[in-house]
Amino acid sequence: MNIQQLQTKRKELLDQIGAIERMHKGRLSEEYRERMVDGRIHRTGPYFKHQQWEKGKNLSRRVKGDEAQRLREGIAEMDRFKHLCDDYAETTVAMTEELEKQHESKKNSS
């Protein structure tokens, strides 16, 4: 990619990052429980558990179904944010390398 394309890509990535309005940290797990009732296995759930690392500790809490959906969406947006940031960093590195190549070729042609 040339410098102009890389600059355009960086702007597009920043626009996508700026459009993210909600994020949640952590992971959401779904659990089911099984027990025997009248000789048959009875399955209950799902039960949702939200876990996240904070200040070096794993915090875990149970959440209700409606909150679980909001957390799931926020966690997906956090994952998307991280991916976009990684892409932005890689694009910036590529742009920097391209600028340095151009600078070196101008310096050597003088």
Condensed to tens digits (0 to 9), the pLDDT of residues 45-84 reads: 999 999 999 999 999 999 999 999 999 999 999 999 999 9
Round to whole Å and give the CA distance between 52 and 40. Answer: 36
Q: Domain count of the chain? A: 1
* Residues, the chain: 110
CA 61/CA 26 separation, integer angstroms: 11
CA distance 87 to 30: 30
Host domain of residue 46: 3-109
Residue 51 contacts residue 37 (beta carbons within 8 Å) = no
Using alpha carbons, list the distances in angstroms from residue 17 to 20, 34, 63, 77, 78.
6, 42, 28, 10, 10
The least confident of 16-20, 42-46, 50-54, 105-109 is 105-109
Q: Which residues pair with 53 in a beta bridge?
A: 58
> What pLDDT is recorded for position 20?
98
Q: How far is CA 97 from CA 10, 46, 54, 79, in A?
A: 15, 50, 36, 27
Quote the DSSP letter at residue 35: E
pTM here? 0.81
